[in-house]
Amino acid sequence: MQGRSRGAWLAGAAALGIVVLLAAAAPWIATADPLRTDLAGRLRPPGPGHPLGQDALGRDVLARLLFGARASLLVGGATVALSCALGAPLGLLAGYRGGWLDEAIGRVIDVLLAFPGLLLAIALAAVLGPSLRNVVLALSLLGWTGYARLARAEAAAARGCEFVTAATALGAGPLRIVVRHILPQAAPTLVVQATFGLCGAITAEAGLSFLGLGVPPPQPSWGSMLGEGREFLLVAPHLLLAPGTALAFTVLALQLLGDGLVARLGAPQDWQRGQ
């Protein structure tokens, strides 16, 4: 079992590293400008000069795929960072303090979790307008609840432990206890949650861009590429295969990485993934 978890962790990390490396090196790997149109070559299949073919406007699919990876990783990383930065402190504070504060934060989390996540993100993105910043805000307004719930549970469990009692007896203040003693206990769980949260944010961004509520055109995004290519499925399947394969590969890499980290760090396995 340990060998399988180690293999999953290494495979996921290697696959995700490949995606990040390709996105970072997009300007040097891309064979053409992702925004440059060439109507004479529209819907051209993969061939010399365009390894993954051209789309309905003659734009290079490989270039748009590589630059689209940047948008997906940027949205996913920013969403996870903002959600964790908001949710983890609130959860730690609620779990450690308890009482009415814990009850109030817990009720807010329960109310937000009662809403369908993607539908709420669609509504917020539609109100705010399509842009990378608004997508991150829409996903983070709901995504922080997963980190807050986990941090709250970890802090509540650690509150009665002997090391917290000893730190209190030695005169440590609440902030020091939370940061120096409770946060390290919750960190493995939050790291694993961040892995699954990154996966959920990337797929949610793809869904919003597919609906025209994510990355504004003509900027490339895997979701918008899927949306633009769906009407040409029978005549130019490469328009869907390229972004679909990239999205599936990235999601699989993150799932393998997360599953490996669950076993490696000993984090709980029964939470709701992809908040």
Average the pLDDT over 182-197 and give the result.
87
Helix (H, G, I), strand (E, B) or coil at 32: coil
Residue 247 lies in a domain: yes
DSSP assignment of 83-123: HHHHHHHHHHHHHHH-HHHHHHHHHHHHHHHTS-HHHHHHH
What's the pLDDT at 5?
59
Residue 26 lies in a domain: no
What's the CA gap between 21 and 271, in Å, rounded? 30
Q: What predicted TM-score, i.e. pTM, was given to this entire model?
A: 0.87
Flag whether pLDDT at 266 surpasses 70: no
Cα 114 to Cα 152: distance, rounded to the nearest angstrom = 18
Tell me the CA end-to-end span of the chain in Å, nearest whole number: 27
Cα–Cα dist 149/95, whole Å: 9
Host domain of residue 176: 71-265
Read off the pLDDT of residues 205-218 as tens digits, 9 standing for 90 and up. Answer: 998 889 888 888 88
Q: Is residue 117 part of a domain?
A: yes
Determine the Cα–Cα distance for residues 34 and 40; give it in Å rounded to an integer.
16
Domains identified in the chain, total number = 1
pLDDT at 84 over 90: yes
Question: How many angstroms separate the most distant Cα atoms in the chain?
Answer: 77
Q: What is the pLDDT of residues 88-119, one digit of tens each?
A: 999 998 888 888 888 898 888 888 888 777 78
Q: Is the pLDDT confidence value at 255 over 60?
A: yes
Query: What pLDDT, in 10s, does the model give residues 113-164?
Result: 887 777 878 888 778 878 888 889 888 888 899 899 999 888 888 877 777 7
Position 1 confidence tier, pLDDT thresholds 50, 70, 90:
very low
Residue 174 lies in a domain: yes
Mean of the per-residue pLDDT values of the chain: 85
pLDDT at 4: 57
Report whether pLDDT(269) > 70. Answer: no
- Looking at residue 45, what DSSP letter applies? P
Residue 152: give its domain's CATH number.
Answer: 1.10.3720.10
Residue 271 has pLDDT above 70, yes or no: no
Q: Residue 275: its pLDDT value, please?
A: 39
The answer to whether residue 64 sits within a structural domain is no
Secondary structure of residue 274 in the 3-state scheme: coil
